[in-house]
Structure 1
Amino acid sequence: MTMGLAGFVLWLLTVFCIGGQHTLNAFITVDCKNENLGQYGQPSVVECEIRMAKGDNVRIVVWKKGGSTLLKFFNNQVDPTSPLGYSFAEPSWNSKSSNVSLLIAKTSVINHGDYSCMVMTDSGSDNKTASLHVTAKYKTPSIRTTSTNVGPSSPVTLTCRSEGGYPKGRLGWFVGTTGQGESAETVAEAMENGLFSLSSELTLSLGQDASKYTCMVFNASGGIDGEASVVLPDHTQVAGIEQALQAKESDVASRIVAPLVVIGSLIVGLLLFWVLRGRRCSKRQPDPPVETDLEQDSQQDLLSVTSECQKSNP
């Protein structure tokens, strides 16, 4: 392991000493695409190709971002200690291949930035840099309306939100169909995954002539990723809403009072019934016994009622 590392270091020193001369003689040239685009969550490629003398073999390839080595080819094999998620873009890459492009399996925000590619062949070496610009499309914005009351000139706040985009974008407000802009600050916050969440608040008064408000989300390049609209009532509609609310409040009050009146009437009726019944029981006395059958039946009924009264009035 130590011998291999020492050999690698010696080889690099040789490259730095003689690599410039070979590059000037055009024995090897690394050509990279200066600006590469990557979509968040998708595979990305930083493109680089080499021009080398016929019959030459690639001895070393080193891809770096900042001070971190992402991919290294040495001694006819890819270093197994290279981080996962990075490989040559050409599936069947070998020491004869001229395409040394770097493939990033799943692009994230940390992949945004500058990369360097160093290549050494039998004839010499060269080193070039390239950049990867990571982008993520913002989600369709949503608008939430907040108001403490409803009435002419009542304040209402429109809150627009959108998230999941990169790099940092902005939100814009537009009135009606004329495209007139409204000034409102955009607040951008970085999420845990590095993407941005945008929010903007616009405070208005109900009853204005312009009733449609549109919020657009713009990406870092100025393009529109999405939009949402909300329609606020004008002064005539606000008046109608107030009348409807008053009618609703009156209806609710009547719905509450009516059952209470019915219940109260029932309670009063029951009290009167028991009072009258008590009076009837106290005044009514059983008649003397008689011999006829009809009068005996009436007497039994009266005794029965008297017994019930006594039970209900102990």
Structure 2
Amino acid sequence: MTMGFADFVLWLLMVLCFGGQHTLSGFIEMDCKESLGQYGQPSVVECEIKMAPEAKDDSVRIVVWKKGVSILLKFHDDQFDPTLPPGYSLEPSWNSKSLNVSLLIANTSVINHGNYSCFVMTESGTANKSASLHVTAKYKTPSIHTTTTNVGSPSRVTLTCRSEGGYPKGRLGWFVGTTGQEESAETVAEAMGNGLFSLSSKLTLSLGRDPSTYTCMVFNASGGKDSEASVVLPDHVQVAGIEQEPQAKDSDVAHRVVAPLVVIGSLIVGLLLFWVIRGRPCKRAPEAAEPEVLEAVETDQEQGNSQDPLIVTSEYQESNP
């Protein structure tokens, strides 16, 4: 497609001005500032035209905003280019007599962070200037998760702190009690799908020490504190709702071992006694003596005979086969 004369002139002016970073005329200047933008909110990249007294009645002919090599906004021939990406504009009341050419960003995201350039042309000359936007996102209140390990003595607990949704990359810090002493722990930062960061940090401690409050603080890229969360570690193994029995004393362990052995031993002795008694033969009752023998014994006892009943019985049996 053949480039029109006006577009060619615009292209040539932009090459000269953006490449050389200087004004082609002393009648106009530009004043741009470093701007701050909040993620998910409207932002402004501030730039303003400064006119010399001789050019105070000039009209703005061209305004072009770029980020890198991408053109975000272009005003030319008294109209804005509708083919450029949406979401970028000048102030709503802007017209060719307005000197405020700040770029408005409707919904700030991570990709808006960085350097910009603004080119303007009036009836008296041209100027261009660099500008920057620093995008920030506040990290969410951190959460602390606890896990305990009973391997070895004493038991150990690991505190894991997590926070996400911040930008630029921040860090997590651990602090003990009211003294504010900081514990050494590494912060791991991972980029999320939207360009924001997720932070995590682990702190491993030995249980059994005095109860203490451990605080996880989230610091942004500028070093300021965004938020914090705390957890209290008691002197026994009970952490954030996770409870375990304290280590048993030696006497407790001996009692737990001896008691079952006593019960088992009693059962074994009882079973042995049962089988011994059951296996022993029962004594048979003596056979009833014959009536004649009994009568003889009774007669002898009545007569005062001191003879052994067994002998009497034998004699009686001999005489009465």
TM-score, normalized by length of structure 2?
0.69
**Match in the other structure for 1:50:** 49
Deviation at 1:57, TM superposition (A): 1.1
Aligned positions of 1:16-27 closer than 5 A: 23=23, 25-27=25-27
Name the SS for the 1:242 alignment partner: coil
Name the SS for the 2:245 alignment partner: helix
**Match in the other structure for 1:310:** none
Name the SS for the 1:209 alignment partner: coil
Deviation at 1:14, TM superposition (A): 5.2
User: Does the 8 Å contact 2:161/2:200 carry over to 1?
Assistant: yes
**Match in the other structure for 1:29:** 29
User: Does the 8 Å contact 1:15/1:120 carry over to 2?
Assistant: no
Q: Relative to total residues, which structure has the larger helix share, 1 or 2?
A: 1
**Match in the other structure for 1:196:** 197
Paired residue total: 241
Pair 1:76-2:75 in alignment: no
What is the CA RMSD across the aligned residues, in angstroms? 2.8
1:236 and 1:190 map into 2 onto residues whose CA distance is: 35
User: Does the 8 Å contact 2:160/2:200 carry over to 1?
Assistant: yes
2:136 and 2:245 map into 1 onto residues whose CA distance is: 47
**Uncovered stretches (5+) of structure 1, i.e. residues with no partner:** 247-314
**Match in the other structure for 1:40:** 39
Pair 1:222-2:223 in alignment: yes
User: Does the 8 Å contact 1:15/1:124 carry over to 2?
Assistant: no
Which of 241, 245, 248 in structure 2 is aligned with 1:242? 245
1:148 and 1:236 map into 2 onto residues whose CA distance is: 10
Name the SS for the 2:132 alignment partner: strand
Deviation at 1:11, TM superposition (A): 3.7
TM-score, normalized by length of structure 1?
0.70
**Match in the other structure for 1:141:** 142
Deviation at 1:234, TM superposition (A): 1.0
Name the SS for the 2:6 alignment partner: helix
Deviation at 1:152, TM superposition (A): 6.3
2:13 and 2:176 map into 1 onto residues whose CA distance is: 67
1:187 and 1:146 map into 2 onto residues whose CA distance is: 19
1:228 and 1:91 map into 2 onto residues whose CA distance is: 43
Pair 1:127-2:128 in alignment: yes
1:44 and 1:144 map into 2 onto residues whose CA distance is: 36
User: Does the 8 Å contact 2:236/2:246 carry over to 1?
Assistant: no
Larger Rg, first or second structure (1 or 2): 2
**Match in the other structure for 2:157:** 156
User: Does the 8 Å contact 1:38/1:107 carry over to 2?
Assistant: yes
User: Does the 8 Å contact 2:64/2:120 carry over to 1?
Assistant: yes
Deviation at 1:15, TM superposition (A): 6.7
1:79 and 1:123 map into 2 onto residues whose CA distance is: 23
